[in-house]
Amino acid sequence: MHNALKEKWDAVIVPGGYAPDKIRRYPEMLKIVREAFDRGAVVAYICHGPWVLAPAGVLKGKNLTCVIAIKDDVENAGGKYVDMEVVVDGNLITSRRPPDLPAFMKAVIKAMEKK
């Protein structure tokens, strides 16, 4: 089913909190993220979301933001941490925390309108 659906996905959006810690443990989820990223789909994460991006191997050389608690994880995976409410780097959209949701969602909607 995954192969039939993957071409239809315009975006992968992962919420924050500790769900990303569980999501990143599943190779199939990492594959979905990597494939979406590689084909230019919108890949958007907030808060602890970049915990999924690191093992998916898509952070190297990318500017992004996240909750400060995982800043070291982001940098160790090759990403460049930027302390802003939302960071857009190509098809990658990241945000820090719940108060940043309005800016995050505006960036996601803007990116989706281009699809």
What is the set of active-site residues? 48
Extended beta strands in 1-115, E state? 11-14, 42-46, 63-64, 80-81, 86-89, 92-95
Q: Classify residue 4 as exposed, middle or buried by CB count within 10 Å of its CB (0-12, 13-18, 19+).
A: exposed
CA pair distance 32, 50, nearest whole angstrom: 14
- The amino acid at residue 90 is G
Tokens 């494939």 -> residue: 35
